[in-house]
Structure 1
């Protein structure tokens, strides 16, 4: 009897200031949350400095989505953020969540919130596309 591999968590944060302590605390929180739920950590992606302040091009977030898409068809994948504000403090949050869903995953926070239901159709479409057609 085979069991499915544990979900693969892709940790993301954005941090604009030079003070590293708040970022380190959030990352520790994400690592602990993943361990509590038995999730394997795929890696940590950080947008730092000015890039973290805008909703323009976020190189690390886009890289996370690209890496997630490589695994999304074979196992459960998620973007783990400490709180929703780690994606953005603006009303652009659904755009970021859709990018994660399009990569075959969902977004979850260390407060026990996730968007599995809200963006399920996008995730299913990404999963179907990753299998190809026969």
Structure 2
């Protein structure tokens, strides 16, 4: 097989996200390191790390780094997961977290934590695949 004929790498891409309001970074470094270790254990390729800092970390909108992460996921050529250390890294408010996670799903990805939790709905994934295949021979 020549270099041009190589099959593209379709391993899952991990888009690590966090938010951090203070200038001390030890806790942030621990959380993102945990994400990197988790991604490596799953065989995922880390696409990058996005961190909303300061005031952006304290509110649910605007989240410039979250928006940048979603844009990068939309452009990804492989399956994508937004990886966080815990759900609270996205938002402490479950309703706001659901809104933010919806942006990731609209970017063809899903959210997961280092505890193995995910917002991926296998039934929804199957239904979406059926809809996508309608009309195809």
For normalisation by structure 1, the TM-score amounts to: 0.83
Asked if 1:79 corresponds to 2:82, the answer is: yes
- Structure 2, unmatched stretches of 5+, are 1-6, 133-137
Closer, same or farther: CA 65–119 of 1 in aligned 2, 3 Å: farther
Which of 98, 104, 115 is matched with 1:100 structurally? 104
Match in the other structure for 1:113: 117
Match in the other structure for 1:131: none
In the TM superposition, residue 51 of structure 1 has moved relative to its aligned partner by 0.6
Match in the other structure for 1:48: 53
Quick one: distance in 2 between partners of 1:102 and 1:78? 12
Asked if 1:33 corresponds to 2:38, the answer is: yes
Alignment RMSD (CA, Å)? 2.2
In the TM superposition, residue 75 of structure 1 has moved relative to its aligned partner by 2.0
Match in the other structure for 2:93: 90
The 4+ residue runs of structure 1 with deviation greater than 6 A are none
- Structure 1, unmatched stretches of 5+, are 129-134
Please say if residues 101 and 119 of structure 1, whose CA atoms lie closer than 8 Å, have aligned partners that are also in contact: no
Match in the other structure for 1:132: none
SS in 1 for 2:74: helix
In the TM superposition, residue 38 of structure 1 has moved relative to its aligned partner by 0.4
Please say if residues 30 and 81 of structure 1, whose CA atoms lie closer than 8 Å, have aligned partners that are also in contact: yes
Aligned length: 122
For normalisation by structure 2, the TM-score amounts to: 0.82
Match in the other structure for 1:17: 22
SS in 2 for 1:64: helix
